[in-house]
Amino acid sequence: ELAGRAACGGSPRRRTGRAFRSAHWFNRPEDLGMQALYIERYMNYGITKEELCSGKPIVGIAQSGSDIAPCNRHHLELAKRVREGILTAGGIAFEFPTHPIQETLRRPTAALDRNLAYLALVEILHAYPFDGVVLLTGCDKTTPACLMAAATVNIPAICLNVGPMLNGWSREQRVGSGSVIWKARELHSAGSINADQMIDMVTAGTPSPGHCNTMGTASTMNALAEALGMALPGSSAIPAPYRERAHAAYETGRRIVEMVYEDCKPSDILTREAFENAIVVNTAIGGSSNAPIHLNAIAKHAGVPLDLDDWDRIGHAIPLLLNMQPAGEMLSEDYYRAGGLPAILAELLAAGRLPHPDAATVSGRTIGESAVGKTTWDRRTIRTYADPLKSHAGFVHLQGTLFDSAIMKTSGISAEFRAKFLSDPDDPDAFEAAAAVFDGPEDYKARLDAAPIDERTVLVMRGVGPLGYPGSAEVVNMHAPGRLLRLGVRDLPCIGDGRQSGTSGSPSILNATPEAAAGGNMALLRDGDRVRVDLPRRRVDILVSPEELRARRAALDEAGGYRGPPSQTPWQDIFRREVGGQSEGSVFTRATEFRHLAQKY
Ligand code: FES
Ligand code: MG
């Protein structure tokens, strides 16, 4: 069945008998001493000399699950089926651990570890005898970390998502992991629920193994991995406990061996066209506000030009098709049963809005081919392009005197927010408001109730970008003080130089670059300053005179600049020295110069 298939890059399938990369370790007649050394320790747990020297593909299984990474922990089971798929197809499997990144547990923030996991995986893939690798992805940053590394080393690679949890329930109500926290936090702040009720409410969202069951950053990044062509079509949305998840694990293992024979590499898949498809998909699924950071980072390591103007230009006008929390009502099981990503692609394809249907995927078929005939039966969950949940649901890219670059997910704008802030007929889709400025989440918690905030205030959070926190914290979505919540005031505009959880639906202005700690004007803002947000012009400006801003800048410089807390570990210090701005994907710029490392052998 597979024999006649075109290779992922469109060239005819190659089974030429060429030696694989692993031959540099396991078949070295010119240097038998080294070959003996490379072989001896790998035999000590049972692999035979014949297997190691057979010339068969050696395939890595990059294991991201562990007891401290519960979102990805189910990969400990799935890896067994991956291994069986690899063996069935004639490969040899080497499983190894990646650096864990658990979004909900890692302090000060998991964002600090995406680049660490990336660097560690590059070293492993480059330095060991791998001909291909299965990337076991899932929780938010595990997916971009793996794809950044695969793009750098450029050996055949394929993603397998761990899959989302089952739907959470409270009686007949769906409870989405992550998303429920924002609601519970407000209810607790308003005094409507006690501590036990809060914990019970939040944990109802996590009923099984798997990653978040909402369209948070995990579901988003795995959908985008599939949209980029790096995962088997239809695989990203399968819930972790479903039998189809284990089937996908087996098929992924089989397929990577064929990819090694075909020499189907990330550089064949991660093209500019693939990234444009992913941007469109991100809007259609209501994807996370963290997606631009991660996708731009993957593009940087793949050597593909991509910036936030691309996100606005390609993605903003696309409608929201998927009715899934936080943008909608449903959860992971509904999404999967409705057809998952292929059903979304089928809508985009039918409307002629998938920019590049001919883009290659790891399956050997094009992305367009993988969506043919996949139209959903469930119109409550996946809408048609002509009758979407929201039109123009993508990000806008904002610039101005407060920052050079920030994004806003306009699909998160509620009717209440629109009525209060965006309804002036003389100034449509724009507003001015006085700022309440917080230096990090601790300052926000300490001063929220006493700060000068009313129902027309813009809440500003600074000092929480990649340098400031460090790593960049998901804390920009702030709620109003309890006294206003009790009056029904909920959606205050928020601006920050940090991030927001992908599970939050708040219409915040996020990822402001340069951050306060990098010398951005966010550091000059004071309580009571007026800020103008103008969405049609894509601008956010401080309404303070240039002379006053210059004076504040001089005073700040005199005082030694805007300082975050001191680094607590060596890695925090290295991270701060190397990391670039969020608009550029928070990558280590020097690391992007090392590309296609595997080809050096
Ligand atoms: Fe791990 Fe949401 S916290 S996927
Ligand atoms: Mg998150």
CA distances from 539 to 211, 396, 409, 419, 433 (A): 36, 10, 14, 20, 14
With cut-offs at 50, 70 and 90, classify the pLDDT of residue 8: low
462 membership: H or E segment, kind and range: strand 457-462
Report the first-to-last Cα separation within the chain, whole angstroms: 33
Q: How far is the CA of 411 from the centre of ligand 1 (A)?
A: 22
DSSP secondary structure code for residue 312 in this structure: I
Tell me, what's the pLDDT at 4? Answer: 32
Tell me, what's the pLDDT at 11? Answer: 45
Residue 526 has pLDDT above 60, yes or no: yes
Region 118-145 average pLDDT: 98
**Counting atoms of ligand 1 from 1, which one is nearest the CA of 211?**
4
DSSP annotation string for 493-542:
-EEESSB--TT-----EEEEES-GGGT-GGGG--TT-EEEEETTTTEEEE
Sheet holding 457-462, edge to edge: 395-398, 405-409, 509-513, 494-496, 457-462, 430-439, 530-534, 539-542
Could you give the 3-state DSSP secondary structure of residue 275?
helix
What integer best gives the mean pLDDT of the chain?
Answer: 94
Could you give the 3-state DSSP secondary structure of residue 561?
coil
Note the pLDDT tens digit of each residue in 486-517.
998 888 999 999 999 877 777 799 999 999 99
Note the pLDDT tens digit of each residue in 256-280.
999 999 999 999 999 999 999 999 9
Residue 391 has pLDDT above 80, yes or no: yes
pTM, to two decimals? 0.96
What percent of the chain shows pLDDT beyond 90?
89
Q: What are phi and psi of 405, to 5 degrees?
A: -160, 135
Q: What are phi and psi of 248, to 5 degrees?
A: -65, -35
Lowest mean pLDDT among 7-11, 425-429, 567-571: 7-11
Nearest ligand to the CA of 105 is 1
With cut-offs at 50, 70 and 90, classify the pLDDT of residue 186: confident
Tell me, what's the pLDDT at 104? Answer: 94
Q: What are phi and psi of 242, to 5 degrees?
A: -70, 150
Q: How far is the CA of 318 from the centre of ligand 2 (A)?
A: 24
Lowest mean pLDDT among 7-21, 119-133, 332-346, 411-425: 7-21
With cut-offs at 50, 70 and 90, classify the pLDDT of residue 16: low
Region 294-316 average pLDDT: 98
Residues with CB under 5 A from ligand 2 (ion): 103, 140, 217, 501
Lowest mean pLDDT among 3-12, 50-59, 160-169, 243-252: 3-12
Note the pLDDT tens digit of each residue in 68-104.
999 999 999 999 999 999 999 999 999 999 999 999 9
Region 416-437 average pLDDT: 93
* Residue indicated by tokens 């030009």: 305
Tell me, what's the pLDDT at 490? Answer: 83
Report ipTM (2 d.p.).
Answer: 0.92
Tell me, what's the pLDDT at 501? Answer: 84
* Residue indicated by tokens 């094009």: 366
Region 336-356 average pLDDT: 98
Tell me, what's the pLDDT at 182? Answer: 87
DSSP annotation string for 369-431:
GGGTT---S-TTTB--TTS-SBSS-SEEEEBSSS-SEEEEEGGG--HHHHHHHS--TTSTTEE
Q: How far is the CA of 137 from the centre of ligand 2 (A)?
A: 14
DSSP annotation string for 91-154:
-EEEEEEPPP--TTT-SS-GGGGHHHHHHHHHHHHHHS--SEEEEEE-STTHHHHHHHHHHHH-
Residue 411 has pLDDT above 90, yes or no: no
* Residue indicated by tokens 């926190």: 469
Q: How far is the CA of 283 from the centre of ligand 1 (A)?
A: 20
Nearest ligand to the CA of 501 is 2
Nearest to 9 by CA among 347, 445, 366, 247: 366
Tell me, what's the pLDDT at 503? Answer: 73
Cα gap 538→291, rounded to integer Å: 20
Nearest CA to ligand 1 atom 3: 103
Cα gap 239→224, rounded to integer Å: 16
Q: How far is the CA of 112 from the centre of ligand 2 (A)?
A: 12
Pocket lined around ligand 1, Cβ cut-off 6 Å: 71, 103-104, 139-140, 178, 211-212, 216, 218
Region 226-246 average pLDDT: 98
Lowest mean pLDDT among 1-15, 131-145, 216-230, 236-250: 1-15
- The larger pLDDT score, comparing residue 22 to residue 409, is at 22
Tell me, what's the pLDDT at 1? Answer: 29
Region 514-542 average pLDDT: 97
Nearest CA to ligand 1 atom 2: 212
With cut-offs at 50, 70 and 90, classify the pLDDT of residue 567: very high
Nearest CA to ligand 1 atom 1: 139
